[in-house]
Copies of this chain bind each other. A is one copy, B any other.
Amino acid sequence: MSSSEKPSRKVTSFDVARLAGVSRAAVSRTFTPNASVSPETREKVVKAAKELGYRVNYLARGLINQRSDFVGIVAAGMDNPFRAMQIEQITKNLVRRNFRPILLPADHGESADHVMDQLLHYSVSGVLVTSDAPPTALCAEFAAAGVPIVLINKADSIPAVDRVVSDNDTAGRLAATTLIETGARHLAVMSAAAISYTARRRQQAFLACCHSLEADVRVIPVKINDYANGFAAAAMLDGVDGVFCINDYMACGLVDGLRQRGVSIPDDVRIVGHDDVPQASWAGYDLTTLRQPCDLQAEQAIDLLLSRMDNPETAERVEVTPVSLVRRSTA
């Protein structure tokens, strides 16, 4: 009201110290956990701070602590709903643990280099990579610079770089057995194996399982694992009566493409997807799919980050998260 302050300058710990009649160190200690301050000093400081609207400058704190509470998230393909789920889980988890997530979209391959390079200018506490095209060399550089880095669903084994990967082998096997069990005899797997480790791995496991069961199986290659490619692929399914789509995003496209061609699901063609994105449970699709617990993945990835912050010398670790079959109406 009457306090018509002009906040032209940021208020610093000096101002608070002066107003509270204590040393600046006392102010610092008041806002530092586990520091030694007497109750009355603390009270004076808190009062003065509130009056001035003081907030600790975390950048300055990070400068001296060599640790900034920032965590970089490198993500590509944000049109895929699963990516959105991932990012939501990761950011929420980070914020809950008092980190600040810096979100870096890295779609065009070469831009990932540039974008990740930028991160090295901030003293990020760590980096999470969910991109499909991570520059391996750059990851190694982060590790060399002492920045903990965790890859989610990535291939490359890099010294000192931890990973969280979904159980793709079980996924491929469950997909195959479910399709066969529900009556499919001529199977196929749709994936852009060339550009995605995850797709490659699931495809291999699926094929291996089919072969061991002596089932007829073929590969339907696509360029990108997205809706449009799934939709278009509906035209290339002659004779196939059971398809494993490497992700739900593409599976939705396939379902729509098949329906448009008058193919009945699951009577003519059975479909199993992967990820359990929200759309998979929508009544319009009701996809049978393999759920990937992206909340758990976020949790484990950040745990790995923290653990490596404490002792950076550990050998690289791999956490495998379980998949679970969600039976719906497409298989």
Interface residues of A in 216-262 (CB under 8 A from B): 227, 231, 252-253, 255-257, 259-260
Contacting residues, chain B, for A146 (C-beta < 8 A): 7-8
User: Which of A17-25, A125-133, A281-289 lines the interface with chain B?
Assistant: A281-289
Given contacts A10-B123, A255-B284, A256-B282, 4 further A-B contacts (CB under 8 A): A56-B121, A59-B62, A101-B104, A257-B283
**CB-contact partner of A59 in B63, B88, B104, under 8 A:** B63
A7 to B78, CA, bound (A): 35
Quick check: is A320 within 8 A (CB to CB) of the other chain? no
A60 touches B58 (CB 8 A): no
Interface string of A252-294 (1 = CB under 8 A from B): 1101110110000000000000000011001111000000000
Contacting residues, chain B, for A105 (C-beta < 8 A): 88, 91-92, 95
Quick check: is A103 within 8 A (CB to CB) of the other chain? yes
User: Which of A43-51, A79-87, A174-182 lines the interface with chain B?
Assistant: A79-87
B62 touches A91 (CB 8 A): no
Contacting residues, chain B, for A100 (C-beta < 8 A): 102, 104, 118, 122
B101 touches A102 (CB 8 A): yes
A260 to B283, CA, bound (A): 8
B256 touches A7 (CB 8 A): no
Offer 30 A-B interface pairs, CB within 8 angstroms, sorted by A. A7-B144, A7-B145, A8-B146, A10-B123, A57-B123, A59-B63, A78-B84, A78-B87, A78-B88, A81-B81, A81-B84, A84-B84, A87-B87, A88-B105, A91-B103, A91-B105, A95-B104, A95-B115, A100-B102, A100-B104, A100-B118, A101-B103, A102-B102, A102-B103, A227-B282, A253-B282, A256-B284, A260-B283, A279-B279, A284-B284
